[in-house]
Amino acid sequence: MRDGGCWRNEIDAKSMSRRAPTFNSQTGFFRRVSNRGEYTRDRELPRTTRFDSYEVETIPGLEGYALREITEVCAHRVVARLTSEPGRILVDQVEAPERLLGMRAASAVYGRLFFPVARPTGLLGHRDFTTLTIHARSVMERTPTEAFETLSLSAAGRDSAVLKRLGDELCRALGLAKSESRGDLALRLKRASAGSRGWIVLIRLTRRPLSTRPWRVCNMPGAINAVVAHVAAKLTKPNPSQRFLNLACGSSTILIERLQLCTARFAGGVDVDPSALACSSKNLAASRLDRAVGLLRADATNLPFVDASFDALSGDLPFGMLVRGGLDRNRFYFEALLEAARVAKPHARMSLITTNHSAIQHAIDRTEAHWRVKETIPFSLSFQSGYIHPRIYVLSRSVSRLPRREVAELTHRGE
């Protein structure tokens, strides 16, 4: 029977008060019976497995978008701040931490535990090691349908004897195999900030990073990161009445991220590569959006649409499209922007992602009568053994007319 927002059991309250707490594997919290014989809510309990704080990982350069989404998904009941470490946001207080796992601008979410030990060897002590394994096990039990098989521990000097032993002991206690990287259960060890004597252990709260979307069943080399695609789609100011076009759609990452923000009156993707379109079809089917999207084989410089057809466009030309060998990149970008201007309605928004900043700037300068730069967002992505530094260019279409005949003339003259 429910009474005053709590669950009341009909048996003797005194006997109930002696019951052990009940673990809720979905939230990772314990529920217990109060002395009054009431089942208190999870959020009203001392949360035995609640972390000290949480850390959101995102793409360096896109922290502001992740920070805003944290506030949105947590209904403003959160205290979060940027850190000195690029791509990391510290969540000091949050009423419902599970809501962070619904973020799309986050690469991963970690629970943080602070241990007041001078060296990592202190983590092998009984009390701290037990605390660590309890929290790790609570993460594993939150998603019982996903089997955790491997554990990875990343830290500076992870090849040291102490950290190797810590990893081995954790694997033994949790029944997991050790992985050098990308373990199902991912832990990270780092020294606490200056002024705090101790160490911090971060445990990823999901088996896979949040940026590894469940709908991605087909992956193409160089496919755009889903977090970047989400931000690029959001920068087009989505609304259900939009007609949206994804230029050089590749595996349709931007297209899917756009439709998961809200519906569109029309959503389409074009690419010259048949294998890219086949890959797109698989991902769209896995996301259950295949009926909402039209895919066409077409070149971004020669689109099969009438003038002024779209309210919003987006593209990742250098990554999602195999540019023909020997083609002048400056000319290609110029022609793509001209054609996009033709099919865009007045005041339409377009987000473009590229690492070739000189080529896109050259094209923007040559099409300044039709496109105006509203915003430029630089960010960094890990690539092989280093980083690349793309940017998202947000453009706004002017009210000037640009019929197909004029596009052909400008293209022919190279003007």
- Kindly list the structural domains of the chain, giving each domain's residue range(s) and its CATH number in brackets, ordered by start: 2-44 (no CATH), 53-204 (3.30.2130.30), 226-413 (3.40.50.150)
| Phi and psi angles of residue 355, each rounded to the nearest 5 degrees, phi first | -105, -15
Predicted confidence (pLDDT) at residue 276 exceeds the cutoff of 70: yes
DSSP H/E element including 141: helix 126-142
Distance, CA of 306 to CA of 308 (rounded, Å):
7
Q: How confident is the model at residue 407 (pLDDT cuts 50, 70, 90)?
A: confident
Band of pLDDT at residue 175, cut at 50, 70 and 90: very high
pTM, rounded to two decimals = 0.84
Q: Are strands 386-388 and 344-354 parallel, antiparallel or unpaired?
A: unpaired
- Residue 9: what are its φ and ψ, rounded to 5°? -90, 150
Residue type, 171: C
Are residues 371 and 396 in contact, defined by beta-carbon separation less than 8 angstroms? yes
Q: Do residues 267 and 258 lie in contact, with contact meaning Cβ atoms separated by under 8 Å?
A: yes
By residue count, the chain amounts to 415
Looking only at the bridges linking them, the beta strands covering 6-8 and 22-24 are unpaired
Statement: residue 26 has pLDDT above 70: no
Count other C-beta atoms under 10 Å from residue 40's C-beta.
Answer: 15
Q: How many CA atoms lie within 13 A of 250 on its CB side?
A: 25
Give me the residues paired with residue 382 across strands: 387
Residues in CB range of 175: below 8 A, 6 or more apart: none
User: Chain-centre distance of CA 120, in angstroms?
Assistant: 31
What's the pLDDT band for 120 if we cut at 50, 70, 90? very high
What are the angstrom distances between the C-alpha of 337 and each of 140, 246, 342, 353, 363?
48, 13, 9, 13, 7
DSSP 123: G
Quick check: 373 and 364 in contact, CB under 8 A?
A: yes
Question: Which residues contact residue 55 at a Cβ distance below 8 angstroms, ignoring those fewer than 6 apart?
Answer: 88, 89, 90, 91, 109, 110, 111, 112, 202
pLDDT at 32 over 60: no
**What phi and psi values does residue 346 have, to the nearest 5 degrees?**
-55, 135
Close Cβ partners of 19 (under 8 Å, ≥ 6 residues apart): 32, 33
pLDDT tens column, 204-250: 999 999 999 999 999 988 889 999 999 999 999 999 999 999 999 99
**Per-residue model confidence (pLDDT) at position 304:** 95
DSSP string, 347-371: EEEEEEEES-HHHHHHHHHHTTTTE
347-406 confidence digits (pLDDT tens): 999 999 999 899 999 999 999 999 999 999 999 998 877 889 999 999 999 998 888 878
Q: Say how far residue 217 (Cα) sits from the centre of its chain.
A: 17
